[in-house]
Chain A
Amino acid sequence: SQKIEQNSEALNIQEGKTATLTCNYTNYSPAYLQWYRQDPGRGPVFLLLIRENEKEKRKERLKVTFDTTLKQSLFHITASQPADSATYLCALGNNDMRFGAGTRLTVKP
């Protein structure tokens, strides 16, 4: 069956460092992958989209890679700030979209 795994439930890093979050999947060939941010008590907010024929996308301090051979996406936040603390969700899609369970990132000052 299709499986989407995001590395560790929680990730703690120091302000200014780069946070790297991982999204692995099995038994699935998504046409695209999205990353969302979710704060407590709120709905997810779209951050980035990367398609299967793209290797890397950047947006300000965010970078996402998509390796269809490894079946993995990496999401990087450079120069992290306490305001980046949130849960980050990856979502894979073809005709439908399926979400991972998320990784809770805490950036400490």
Chain B
Amino acid sequence: EAGVAQSPRYKIIEKRQSVAFWCNPISGHATLYWYQQILGQGPKLLIQFQNNGVVDDSQLPKDRFSAERLKGVDSTLKIQPAKLEDSAVYLCASSFSGRGGDEQFFGPGTRLTVL
């Protein structure tokens, strides 16, 4: 079974530039998550999709971050414009149903460096 795919793996941009990340979850998984992991910290949930609807985006900085999951399959996360403090690893995860306690399968992440 193929895992969660993410691209690119690494990205370096200047502050105020835009960047987009792509995620393809495990086939058949209804729930997709985007997390931000700053060095030395645990992952922080940015947004959770159930199929193509948003379940939780309470911690998403909506003035600069946006995400979509068209057709309930793959997803993109965009930052526009980027700030220095956005430097982090962006992890995508998926789970079968999204019910409480459901195991989450994580992708390898995209490491973003903002200069």
A43 contacts B106, C-beta separation under 8 Å = yes
Chain B residues with CB below 8 A from A93, complex form: 100-101
Given contact pairs A96-B48, A97-B45, A43 touches B101 in the complex (Cβ within 8 A): no
Contact digits for B76-115, partner A, Cβ 8 Å, 1 yes 0 no: 0000000000000001010000001101111111000000
Q: Which of B42, B48, B100, B107 contacts A100 (CB 8 A)?
A: B42
Q: Does A25 contact B (CB under 8 A)?
A: no
Chain B residues with CB below 8 A from A95, complex form: 56, 100
A-B pair count, CB < 8 Å, reads 53
Q: B residues touching A (Cβ–Cβ < 8 Å)?
A: 4, 40-45, 48, 56, 91, 93, 100-101, 103-109
Given contact pairs A99-B44, A101-B42, A43 touches B91 in the complex (Cβ within 8 A): yes
Q: Does A45 contact B (CB under 8 A)?
A: yes
Chain A residues with CB below 8 A from B106, complex form: 43-45
Q: A residues touching B (Cβ–Cβ < 8 Å)?
A: 4, 9, 31-32, 34, 41-46, 49, 51, 89, 91, 93-102
B41 contacts A43, C-beta separation under 8 Å = no
CB distance from B104 to the nearest CB of A (A): 6
A99 contacts B43, C-beta separation under 8 Å = yes
B104 contacts A46, C-beta separation under 8 Å = yes
B35 nearest CB neighbor, chain A only: A99
B92 nearest CB neighbor, chain A only: A43
A31 contacts B100, C-beta separation under 8 Å = yes
